[in-house]
Amino acid sequence: MNNPYIGPEGFQAPYRDQENQDFRDVKIKIRQHINYHVIGHMSDGSKVDGIIEDMDDDGVTMLVGEDMYADTDEGMRQFGGYGGGYGGGYRRRYRRYRRRRYPYNYFVFPFFVPYPYYY
List the beta strands (DSSP E) in the chain.
37-42, 47-55, 59-70, 92-103, 107-114
Q: What is the pLDDT of residue 17?
A: 60
pLDDT at 71: 66
* pLDDT (tens digit per residue) in 77-115: 555 544 555 555 667 778 899 999 999 888 888 888 888
Q: Indicate the SS3 state at residue 44.
A: coil
Kindly report whether the global pTM for this prediction surpasses the value 0.75: no
Q: Which domains, from first to last, does the chain contain?
A: 14-114 (2.30.30)
* Rounded-to-integer distance, Cα 43 and Cα 118, Å: 28
Q: Over the chain, what is the mean pLDDT?
A: 77
Task: Report H helices in the chain.
Answer: 14-32, 73-78
